[in-house]
Structure 1
Amino acid sequence: MSLFPSLLPGDGWEPVGGGESATEVYRRGNIFAKCCDVSGVKELAAERDRVEWLAGTSVPGAQLLDWIEWTEGAALLTSAVSGVAAVELPWSEKLVSSFAGALRAVHSLPVEDCPFPRPLSEVIAVADDVVHRGAVNPDFLRDDWRTVAPEELLARVHAAQDEMAVDLVVCHGDACLPNFLFDPDTLECTGVIDVGRLGVADRYTDLALVPAQLDDVWSVDASGFFAAYGLPEPDAARLEFYLLLDPLTWG
């Protein structure tokens, strides 16, 4: 049994599903607590700083409530964000359009105001580490990539990186359907969550994740999304590049 609930302030903490990171998440009323052991404190502190920064922008999200450190690790306490994750809602053109608008709103935040750079060289360095540790999760890879050695996939990234155009914006960093919440009646975006990778990067860092999600969740193509986003003819090479890079950075 985890030690974290006994360390959190008050009683009544219930475990909830977590993301892909090595954290445990608990909820009590309208408060979430994301907990980690000592090895994850630096990463969780980075998420804390991003939550606090985003709360001062026009993009809705969680509010930072508390930060607790113990000898065993740390906990990030944030307010719950109202709404329902996009992944839990039925497909509609309006929902896809709202998702595009929400992502565009993140990308429209002033780059000069964001203190969290995520240069491509650093992201690829993370991929180098994950691959060299043998920590790539094949479940995150596209079907045709699962038959290829991770080292070869990484080599493809390195070979193509200098050919990628750069269009820096404030990126969510993990722009997946579970991380964007909507009012189920109006389908207006009520907030974004899980912003641990938020930072200044090429907009395709986020855009590349969208087509596969729309296909996996609703079996629709991404043409409507890109039209609503304002990019009716996205760069196919950059979509492919960042879609390949992303799963190599989790592990």
Structure 2
Amino acid sequence: MTIQLPCTIEQFIGGAALRADEIGESPCDVYSFKRGNDRFFLKICPAILAPTTYSVLREAQALSWLAGHLSVPEVVAVAESVEGEFMITRCVEGQPLQARINDPSSIIMFFCEAVRQLQAVPIHDCPFDSSVEARLHELDYLLAHNLGEDCYNLQQWPYLQTPLDLVARLHKTKPTEDRVFSHGDLCGANVFVDGHDSLHFIDLGRGGSADRWLDIAFVHRFLRKDVSLGVAGEFLTELGEGDDPAKREFFEQLDEFF
């Protein structure tokens, strides 16, 4: 690690060995470490990403706000420096939901419960704006600073040839929003289920008030790609939402450069 850790972060880690986490796709660096019998994660957001939902200070605030509503990681330390933002969280219990990928009925049930728990969080005093306008503004920032995802795939939408085509379409097709609390990146890696079948949510940097279909679209995409189209359809049926292909497409396109 080349970044100098702030004193509070370094003191908490002590002499523990940091192990890089290679699983996530975030541009933030993530490391796991142990203190005694407890496991923790250190997440580092480069300074240039601080104005975005990759901000770990934003995530730490969201986790603290959600603590009375959902099971989320405990924030044990936060700090910032000229190099970036730093957050240490305690590891949640259980396994990621993607570990149940060979049990379609189980994974559908847990995803439906995850959506219900998230949408049950009251948003009348939610300080986190994850609306379409906010995310489009964030997308403009990422593209202007060459921070967008390099491995984007526009071939899945033949009518889009360039990133500018996608941005123009997003502005043209902005949906009317039905706001709820949204995880912002709901997938099999970001929901854990423990031995008592209780759910725990991680990676809530994009959490906030957003359209109800944002999370549903992401779950549908995960199931469609990692399980089957049939199981993705069963998820919508079990959820009782019907389908809204236009919103699903919009939110998948909005996510393409993140």
Q: Which residue of 2 aligns with 1:154?
A: 167
Q: CA deviation at 1:133?
A: 4.9
Unaligned stretches of 5+ residues in structure 1: none
Q: CA RMSD in A?
A: 2.4
Q: Does 1:207 align with 2:216?
A: yes
Instruction: State the one-letter code of the partner of 1:111.
Output: I
What CA distance in whole angstroms lies between the structure 2 residues aligned with 1:194 and 1:128? Answer: 22
| TM-score (normalizing by structure 2) | 0.84
Find the partner of 2:45 among 23, 32, 36.
Answer: 36
Q: Which has the higher helix share?
A: 1
Q: Does 1:114 align with 2:126?
A: yes
What CA distance in whole angstroms lies between the structure 1 residues aligned with 2:72 and 2:251? Answer: 25
Q: 1:88 to 1:4 in 2, by over 3 A?
A: farther
Q: 1:121 to 1:63 in 2, by over 3 A?
A: same
Q: CA deviation at 1:165?
A: 2.7
What CA distance in whole angstroms lies between the structure 1 residues aligned with 2:221 and 2:251? Answer: 12
Q: 1:103 to 1:189 in 2, by over 3 A?
A: farther
Secondary structure (helix, strand or coil) at the match of 2:199 reads strand
Q: Does 1:48 align with 2:60?
A: yes
Identity %: 27
Alignment of structure 1 residues 65-80 onto 2, 5 Å: 65-80=76-91
What CA distance in whole angstroms lies between the structure 2 residues aligned with 1:160 and 1:114? Answer: 26
Q: CA deviation at 1:5?
A: 6.8
- Structure with higher RCO (Cα < 8 A, 6+ apart): 1
Unaligned stretches of 5+ residues in structure 2: none
Q: 1:141 to 1:34 in 2, by over 3 A?
A: same
Alignment of structure 1 residues 225-244 onto 2, 5 Å: 225-231=235-241, 233-244=242-253
| TM-score (normalizing by structure 1) | 0.86
Q: CA deviation at 1:105?
A: 0.7
What CA distance in whole angstroms lies between the structure 2 residues aligned with 1:79 and 1:172? Answer: 19
Q: 1:67 to 1:225 in 2, by over 3 A?
A: same
Q: CA deviation at 1:179?
A: 0.5
Q: Does 1:82 align with 2:93?
A: yes
Instruction: State the one-letter code of the partner of 2:133.
Output: S
Instruction: State the one-letter code of the partner of 2:123.
Output: V
Contact 1:61/1:190 (8 A) holds in 2 = no
